[in-house]
Amino acid sequence: MKLRNKRLSDGEFFEMRKDVLSHWPTGKDVDLKEAVDYLKKVPDEKNFAKKLKKAKEEGITLAQPRAGVALIDKHIELLNYLSKEGGADLLPSTIDSYTRQNRYDECEVGIKESIKNNRSLLNGFPAVNHGVKGCREVFESVDKPVQARHGTPDSRLLAEIIHASGWTSNEGGGISYNIPYAKGVSVEKSLSDWQYCDRLVGFYGEQGIEINREPFGPLTGTLVPPSMAIVTGIIEALLAAEQGVKSITVGFGQCGNMVQDVTAIKVLEEMTEKYLKLYGYDDVYLTTVFHQWMGGFPEDEAKAFGVISFGSATAALSGATKVIVKTPHEAIGIPTKEANAAGIRATKMVLSMLEGQRMPISKEIEAEMEVVKAETACIMDKTFELGKGDLAVGTVKAFELGVIDIPFAPSKYNCGKMMPARDNDGAVRYLMAGNVPFTKELIDFSREKLEERARYENRKVSFQMTVDDIFAVGKGRLIGRPE
């Protein structure tokens, strides 16, 4: 395997770059030197990394929506509406699904059709096709930092274009934007392609330009046990740091048990910091992001606001630096700008009422932290062992063996042997560990918690619990109780 967790040399990087910029005609407009000069003029209040650092120092949680439409003028109108009417602290540009699969020719059709029909016929902003010119027009027309949010296994050309356009953050990573988003992209390929994206950020960093990277914490957003999500965040943070990234935001998707969710953010931050220091990356500034409920949403808008507010409260009480906002149209599809702004206002109302409050460290949280840390350490230790010390190699092998196993992932490179289910308090546990290398006591712990639920529900521990849990929130509850 060629892949190594080693900083790309300038020679390797610039050689790859020739090919990357040829993937679509807009690639030829990326001029690194000119881009550095452009980025040097970005004011602090429009720099993503700086705004996150300021928020963490002030102990506040920032609110960021998802949003993206096909045409530049409409996208600008949307982002400004979310900034002004919604109060968004940070701005996205959610990238469309064709771009995520590097199908830029289909984007071209989508853009033309959107112009013809005067409405967005793409489910996001086709940044590669709009190129540096179009993305700069967006950036210069809004008043907040801008980040690309997507689900792209090969984000190399997208990264080149957005960063040259002043967008100072890119979401994703070689695990988190492959396994939950693609069927047939090898882990080796996506890790390698994201090393390029991280090296590009590292290169800008060496020119004095701060750019943030944000691994996608929620993964499949379906009953992902905290330790499995935390492992992917730690791995992507370490791989990014090796390429020179200095501003990293690790994330977690709400599971719904408040004790477990607050624990997850705390363990995520603590263990990522620990591993960064352990491997010598002392100058990485780490922040956290909490994603409001990523599973099925109720159609009823009032209930949807309940879910949005619940996630906002958990984010605030966990002390997360940022919360990703859902909308009351989540169950229907792409939200209107009004619905999107309403989701942000509801979120910010909760954040401001809870400002300064933190979840007290109860004995329940301490116990949960101990379990989640131990589970995380088992998987990380085995991953490093499989790679004989090389984390990238170890990650490829960990997926091959099911040591890292993301529930309900479409990727054929994911084992799919591990199965989760909620315990009687709604915390996500390991129903079947599959090949995840837990100690006996950790396996027994999950088992006992699920037996507790079985006794309460007067049924056996089984996969039916998992199925019931998947549909529960759409039906207005957290735990899939037997009907």
Ligand X SMILES: CC[C@H]1O[C@@H](n2cnc3c(N)ncnc32)[C@H](O)[C@@H]1O
Q: Which CB sits closer to ligand X, 332 or 377?
A: 332
* Euclidean distance between CA atoms 431 and 22, whole angstroms: 47
Active site residue 400: no
- Per DSSP, the residues of 299-357 read SSHHHHHHHHHHHHHHHHHHT-SEEE---TTTTTSSPPHHHHHHHHHHHHHHHHHTTT-
Binding to ligand X by residue 311, rule CB under 6 A? no
Among candidate residues 136, 149, 156, 171, the one labeled active-site is: 171
Binding to ligand X by residue 326, rule CB under 6 A? yes
Among candidate residues 100, 149, 199, 422, the one labeled active-site is: 100
Please work out the total of residues on this chain that contact ligand X, with binding judged by CB under 6 A.
Answer: 10
**In a 3-state reduction of DSSP, which class is residue 186?**
coil
10 Å CB burial of residue 58 (0-12, 13-18, 19+) is exposed
- Element housing 421 (H / E): strand 419-422
Q: Which CB sits closer to ligand X, 215 or 335?
A: 335
Q: Which CB sits closer to ligand X, 262 or 344?
A: 344
Binding to ligand X by residue 90, rule CB under 6 A? no
Active site residue 108: no
Q: What is the residue whose two structure tokens read 């109860």? A: 362
* Euclidean distance between CA atoms 19 and 236, whole angstroms: 24
10 Å CB burial of residue 244 (0-12, 13-18, 19+) is buried
Q: Looking at 5, 83, 94, 263, which residue binds ligand X (CB under 6 A)?
A: 94
330's tokens: 């989540």
Q: Which CB sits closer to ligand X, 129 or 383?
A: 129
Q: Which CB sits closer to ligand X, 123 or 424?
A: 123
Binding to ligand X by residue 371, rule CB under 6 A? no
Q: What is the residue whose two structure tokens read 């033309």? A: 112
65's tokens: 């929506």
* Euclidean distance between CA atoms 350 and 292, whole angstroms: 13
* Euclidean distance between CA atoms 418 and 294, whole angstroms: 20
Binding to ligand X by residue 335, rule CB under 6 A? yes
Closest approach of ligand X to the CB of residue 303, in Å: 16
| Range in contact with ligand X (rule: CB under 6 A) among 255-263, 312-320, 327-335, 472-480 | 327-335
Binding to ligand X by residue 123, rule CB under 6 A? yes
Binding to ligand X by residue 86, rule CB under 6 A? no
Q: Which CB sits closer to ligand X, 124 or 394?
A: 124
Contact 287, 265 (CB under 8 A): no
Contact 99, 155 (CB under 8 A): no
**In a 3-state reduction of DSSP, which class is residue 412?**
coil
The residues in 448-467 that bind ligand X, with binding defined as CB under 6 A, are none
Task: Give the residue closest to ligand X by C-beta.
Answer: 66
Closest approach of ligand X to the CB of residue 434, in Å: 25
Closest listed residue to residue 5, CA positions, set 191, 206, 250: 191
Closest approach of ligand X to the CB of residue 217, in Å: 11
The residues in 45-84 that bind ligand X, with binding defined as CB under 6 A, are 66-68
Closest approach of ligand X to the CB of residue 96, in Å: 7
Q: Looking at 124, 172, 253, 256, which residue binds ligand X (CB under 6 A)?
A: 124
Q: Which CB sits closer to ligand X, 21 or 334?
A: 334
| Range in contact with ligand X (rule: CB under 6 A) among 224-232, 326-334, 361-369, 376-384 | 326-334
Closest approach of ligand X to the CB of residue 294, in Å: 7
Q: Looking at 52, 70, 334, 341, which residue binds ligand X (CB under 6 A)?
A: 334
Closest approach of ligand X to the CB of residue 27, in Å: 24
Q: What is the residue whose two structure tokens read 């990485």? A: 284
Closest approach of ligand X to the CB of residue 151, in Å: 7
Q: Which CB sits closer to ligand X, 56 or 326?
A: 326
* Euclidean distance between CA atoms 219 and 224, whole angstroms: 8
Closest approach of ligand X to the CB of residue 239, in Å: 22
Q: What is the residue whose two structure tokens read 């801008």? A: 146
- Per DSSP, the residues of 26-92 read GGGG--HHHHHHHHHTS-GGG-HHHHHHHHHHHT--EEE-----SSHHHHHHHHHHIIIII--SSEE
| Range in contact with ligand X (rule: CB under 6 A) among 328-336, 379-387, 427-435, 460-468 | 328-336
Q: How many CB atoms lie within 10 A of CB 32?
A: 16
Q: Which CB sits closer to ligand X, 94 or 114?
A: 94
Closest approach of ligand X to the CB of residue 238, in Å: 24
Check residue 53 and give left, alpha or beta (phi > 0: left; psi -120 to 50: alpha): alpha
Closest approach of ligand X to the CB of residue 445, in Å: 31
Closest listed residue to residue 213, CA positions, set 248, 243, 242, 244: 248
In sequence order, the β-bridge partners of residue 148 are 93, 170
Q: Which CB sits closer to ligand X, 78 or 245?
A: 78
Residues at the contact surface with ligand X, assessed by CB under 6 A: 66-68, 94, 123-124, 326, 330, 334-335
Catalytic positions, written as ranges: 100, 171
